[in-house]
Amino acid sequence: MATKCNRDIDKPILVLGMEPEDIVFIMMLFGACQFIFAMSAGMALFVCLISVFVLRKLKAGKPAGYIVHQLYKYGLSIKGLLPPHGFLFFKKRRLYSCWHEEEMY
């Protein structure tokens, strides 16, 4: 007797319809509103609810992990990946040429 297997094995994990990265972002925003900007809990919650709606609008029609890919693109270093070459960390790129002995910048 065979058991049924769900068709959506590779479905991403969603919590309240949001990816885990989005939940962490919202929690960090709430903490920043509370401690850095010294907002009341109600005002910080209001800011977080607005950011939830903004995130949903920005991510509509985008693939899973869109925010993480954009952060990596703009220079956020993620453990386990190659170092990014985004514009947040201005690094000199070394360009080598097979016709010149010295390094070109």
* Per-residue pLDDT, 50: 94
Confirm if 43 and 57 have CB atoms less than 8 A apart: no
pLDDT digits (tens, 9 = 90+) for 51-101: 999 988 988 888 888 888 888 887 777 788 777 765 555 555 555 566 655
Based on the structure, what is the number of domains in the chain? 1
Question: For the chain, what percent of residues have pLDDT higher than 70?
Answer: 77
Asked whether residue 7 is domain-assigned, the answer is: no
Task: Please tell me the pTM assigned to this model.
Answer: 0.61
Asked whether residue 61 is domain-assigned, the answer is: yes
For 102, the domain range is: 12-105
Q: Residue 6 corresponds to which tokens in the numbers above? A: 């769900």
Asked whether residue 5 is domain-assigned, the answer is: no
Q: What is the DSSP string of 36-105?
A: IS---HHHHHHHHHHHHHHHHHHHTTPPTTHHHHHHHHTT---TTSPPP--SSS--PPPB--SS-SS-B-
pLDDT digits (tens, 9 = 90+) for 9-32: 777 788 888 888 889 889 999 999
Average pLDDT across the chain, whole number: 78
Asked whether residue 90 is domain-assigned, the answer is: yes
